Structure 1
Amino acid sequence: MTDNLFQPFVLNETITLQNRVLMAPLTRCMADEELVPTQAMADYYARRAEAGLIISEAVIIRPDAQGYPNTPGLFTSAQIDGWRVVTDAVHHAGGKIFAQLWHTGRVAHPHFFKKSSSTQALAPSAIGVEGSVPRMRELTYQVPKAVTYDEITQLVADYSQAASNAIDAGFDGVEIHGANGYLIDQFLHYASNHRTDEYGQTPENMSRFALAVVDGISARIGSDRTALRVSPGAYFNMAGDNTDRAVFDYLLGELEQRNLAFLHIGIFDDAMEFDYLGGRASSYVRSVYSKTLVGVGSYSAESGSAAISNDKFDLLAIGRPFIANPDYVARVRAGEELVAYSDEMLASLV
């Protein structure tokens, strides 16, 4: 029933995956106090190297990108060296791994900016989000500073540098985190982008920052090693707007002209439907984007395999079951029962 999951998949002339099962990015907050990956993290990822591709937990591109405790970075030499231990371990175990590059935007918090000159979170517009920092509930979100033109230019450069650092650290490529209500996604939705300059108001303008990051990274490391995650359906740290669809119609049309490694849906549960998308986020993206697409969001191996067979997407990303089952691929291939995920598993890297 799931045989198609275990077929090799050619992303491009550079990268062939050993199967169609990806390990989805899963924030674990287990880096050390300098945001350097640890040996425990290297062991954790190596145990999951049978995935066709591991997408790392989100990795912050610079100090003011941080919105959660102990999330790893890719902007110091120590962090690059720490990630090299991780990528070496994954490659030694026969796997491939992309780094997911992250700036949290308005859900960053100045509490974490100890090594930055920034004193405010950055966002497209000075529009805050309600709530508090996960795992640090005493820290409530603040109203962000609307980024200037020069700051946008610097952000694009910092994304590109982080991608170059990822290659130096031994990653096979990068996935740009443009989803789930974080910085890039904040430019793409009308609820969070009220700009009146060349980065706001129209689909072309609102897509400008995302495309600049994609193009900057592609120029630096190659489009064959560059992927993007997007959330056309607003559902996390973001309110939806019926006019959002026009932004993604334009953005996805532009991405269609670029030879990215893949596009990845950002959704926790792909059964969610959005009126302005005409249904599921994955169905909408598939209808307007013809290249390699990664589906995710509460799929089992069986339902994901069926979706691939029905051309809903090309690759299946699995999240929490990979936390509970380091040998997820082997278990599914053998038809063995999976260990059920529980939140207690987040307390350690197993």
Structure 2
Amino acid sequence: MSTPDLFDPVTLGAIRAPNRILMAPLTRGRGTRDHVPTPLMIDYYAQRAGAGLIISEATGISREGTGWPYAPGIWTDEMVEGWKPVTAAVHAKGGRIVLQLWHMGRVVHPDLIDGAAPVSASATTAPGEAHTYGGKKPYAQARALETSEIPRLLEDYAHAARNAIRAGFDGVQVHAANGYLIDQFLRDSSNLRTDAYGGSVENRVRLLREVVQTIADAIGADRTAVRLSPNGDTQGVIDSDPASLFTVAAQALDAIGIAFLELREPGPEGTFGATDQPRQSPLIRQHFNGPLVLNSDYDMARAQGDLASGLADAISFGRPFIANPDLPERLATGAPLAQAPMATWYSQGPEGYTDYPALSQIAA
């Protein structure tokens, strides 16, 4: 059997990806103030349809869970209609796209949810400041999500997943990483609960398992994926024993039979989001039998190495896709990669969004 290559196809649940270069989720803030996708987003995603699979930017499942200015949502019919031409354009160019489902938990600022307190695993406050329509403001203390509210939360996820399929997406990815709501339940720095959703590792994994099972029941496990960030601190969320925690999480997701699991794993000093906590992917690989996608600071050589060793089945690239809409072609040909200035990552309008030329345009 030949060693897998970045440019080989791979099966991710119900999705047959033509290559193993996935586009990682990237928040870009080009929706409306009411979180409706805009026509500008059609061009952006269509330009990147050469990815084996596009994982969309994080997309709010509800008003309660959406705390990023101009980020899109998926909880209303208007949002569904806004996404339809995006998915149609990607499919017209031969691409595949899944929607990342997002509940931000304690990092939702009250200004974005009509003054209400954000919810989290426990009554904690995220460090730093939130992006709001009025500029950056300190985060507010969250209130602990009541156990009685969890059925409603599960329905919010199921409703969002069904809407994603209505909008033409090939599946969804549950955002359970980066210090957002599910991650706040998973890791012991932010989960201080003493009920069935706190304390033991099994209890802290419970919400993740219930959310993913609920979505799998709604749209199929083969169209349901998950993103985890098992090492390091993100937005003040970290775990004291990630090996024990993410072993149990991997086993739970394996039992559900999800389409694929993506891991964001920054490395030591000098990488984006650097951490001294070791990567957990070698351990997770032993407990999760489905397709494993790795992410964070990959170049061509390291990506090929992790595929060849069997550690990964695909690699997701985030920031390189911002300024290189034809990233797979550039990697295949060894062309230089353009850089994207951070000043336009989250700005509105086409600058730094849809105005990066492909190699064919540069040659012309």
Does TM, scored on the shorter chain, surpass 0.5? yes
TM-score by length of 1: 0.93
Aligned to 1:248: 246
> Matched residues in 1 for 2:85 and 2:50: separation?
18
Counterpart secondary structure, 2:5? helix
Unaligned runs of 5+ in 1: none
> Matched residues in 2 for 1:226 and 1:343: separation?
31
Deviation by residue 1:202-247 (Cα, 9 ceiling, x = unmatched): 1111111100000000000000000001122242113434234322
Aligned to 1:287: 286
Aligned to 2:192: 194
Counterpart secondary structure, 2:64? helix
Aligned to 2:78: 78
Report the identity percentage: 40
> 198, 201, 210: which one pairs with 2:208?
210
User: Per-residue deviation at 1:266?
Assistant: 2.5
Aligned to 1:97: 97
- The runs of at least 4 aligned residues of structure 1 exceeding 4 Å deviation read 268-275
Unaligned runs of 5+ in 2: 355-364
Counterpart secondary structure, 1:284? helix
Instruction: Count matched residues.
Output: 342
Aligned to 1:10: 11
Residue 37 of structure 2 is aligned to residue 40 of structure 1: no
Deviation by residue 1:44-77 (Cα, 9 ceiling, x = unmatched): 0000000000000000000011221111000111
* 8 Å contact from structure 1 (residues 266, 296) kept in 2: yes
User: Per-residue deviation at 1:3?
Assistant: 8.0
Aligned to 1:20: 20
Aligned to 1:336: 335
* 8 Å contact from structure 1 (residues 207, 251) kept in 2: yes
* 8 Å contact from structure 2 (residues 232, 275) kept in 1: no
* 8 Å contact from structure 1 (residues 323, 341) kept in 2: yes
Counterpart secondary structure, 1:4? coil
User: Per-residue deviation at 1:285?
Assistant: 2.0
Closer/same/farther in 2, CA of residues 287 and 4 from structure 1, 3 Å limit: same
* 8 Å contact from structure 1 (residues 274, 281) kept in 2: no
> Superposition pairs for residues 296-311 of structure 1, below 5 Å?
296-311=295-310
Greater shift in the superposed pair: 28-37 or 47-56: 28-37
Closer/same/farther in 2, CA of residues 273 and 288 from structure 1, 3 Å limit: farther
CA RMSD of aligned residues (A): 1.8
Greater shift in the superposed pair: 194-203 or 131-140: 131-140
Counterpart secondary structure, 1:55? strand
> Matched residues in 1 for 2:237 and 2:46: separation?
37
> Matched residues in 2 for 1:251 and 1:91: separation?
33
Greater shift in the superposed pair: 142-151 or 235-244: 235-244
- Please tell me the residue identity of whatever aligns with 1:60: G
Deviation by residue 1:140-198 (Cα, 9 ceiling, x = unmatched): 10110101112111111100110000000000000000000000000001111111111
